[in-house]
Amino acid sequence: MNSFVEKNFELLRKIEAFFFIILGALLASFSVACILLPNDAIDYGTAGIAIIISKLTGANLSMCVFLVFLPFLIMGLVFLGKEFFIRAVVGSVFYIIGLEIFEEIPFELNTEHFIAVAFGGAILGAGLSLILRFGGCIDGSEIFANLVINKISAKTGKNRSMTSILIAFNACVYIAVFILINQNSALLSLLVYVVATAIIDHYTDHFESIKMVTIITQEPDTLVTRIKNEMNKTCTIMDSFGAIAGNNKTLICYVNYFELQKLRGIIKSTAKKAFVTILTIDEII
């Protein structure tokens, strides 16, 4: 009976996750198609690259987004796993469908560009926050930054934040907008980035930062082995004692935001009675 309840609960959690990923993707596409583009601003990340290509060539925006996203989605499948890939594909597909639909819907904000762009950036940030909170992704720059960080960590043995890579990536996008489109568009797009990332950071607790996961469990061996084999991560292991549970092992593991979703799955399936806390770490020396 307990197994049946757990399976149904897990199914409901997955349905909830996909619902909010789809809702977030539609919010983001509405913001881009109905507010940002009509007010001479663009999205950031790989979506921004797709918009630049569309503006310069006159090609269909949805097709440009699909072609730019595709290689990053494939990288996500190879390096971040099947579950992440499925959620990223669902988010990206509905983002593209949303762009196709909302581009045909007449919508106009009778206000100044600055206010409209700030409002559009807020809606974009809300949509992306929902996607990230539920394990999805519709921006290839985040996948790219994750892969670079993993390569650096593998060579140096140190975990690093994705912040610097994401800032550098988006700086290149805005420089391209400044040179290839116009100055006003670049500045308005920068405002979009500032507003959207402020909202994302608030609701995802700085998703680009390192996450310190503390796991207290009486069954550490299988969990440590799976973390090492499936995620190529190590753990710090300490003896601990609980006033009620008695002798335990405390595991400390450092991961990034996208790896966190996979680690949660490993913990749930391996150490169901574990006590887990997650903290945001700005820097590890």
Q: What pLDDT sits at residue 9? A: 67
Residues 170 and 260 in one domain: no
Q: What pLDDT sits at residue 4? A: 55
Q: What pLDDT sits at residue 20? A: 92
pLDDT tens digits, residue range 135-152? Answer: 888 888 888 887 887 777
DSSP state of 110: -
Residues 141 and 67 in one domain: yes
Residues 11 and 72 in one domain: yes
pLDDT tens digits, residue range 7-19? Answer: 676 778 788 888 9
Which of 179, 204, 229 delimits the end of a domain? Answer: 204
- pTM confidence score: 0.81
Number of domains in the chain: 2
User: Which domain covers residue 229, as residue numbers?
Assistant: 210-281
Q: What pLDDT sits at residue 5? A: 54
Q: What pLDDT sits at residue 6? A: 57
Q: What pLDDT sits at residue 115? A: 86
> Are the beta carbons of 251 and 267 closer than 8 angstroms?
no
Which of 174, 204, 234 delimits the end of a domain? Answer: 204
The alpha-carbon radius of gyration of the chain (Å, integer) is 21
Buried b (16+ CB within 10 A) or exposed e, 14-44: eeebbebbbbbbbbbbbbbbbbbbebbbbbb
Q: Compute the mean pLDDT over every residue in the chain, rounded to the nearest whole number.
A: 84
Q: What pLDDT sits at residue 204? A: 77
Residues in the chain predicted with pLDDT less than 70, given as ranges, are 1-7, 9, 157-159, 283, 285
Residues 242 and 189 in one domain: no
pLDDT tens digits, residue range 152-177? Answer: 777 776 667 777 788 888 899 999 99
Residues 196 and 252 in one domain: no
Residues 107 and 169 in one domain: yes
Residues 174 and 257 in one domain: no
Q: Is 222 helix (H, G, I), strand (E, B) or coil?
A: helix
Residues 230 and 115 in one domain: no
Quick one: three-class SS letters along 86-97?
A: HHHHHHHHHHHH
Residues 49 and 112 in one domain: yes
Residue 68 corresponds to which tokens in the numbers above? 């730019």
Residue 278 corresponds to which tokens in the numbers above? 């997650």
Which of 147, 178, 204 delimits the end of a domain? Answer: 204
Q: What pLDDT sits at residue 95? A: 93
Residues 89 and 218 in one domain: no
Residues 267 and 190 in one domain: no
CATH at 240:
3.30.70.120
Residues 133 and 227 in one domain: no
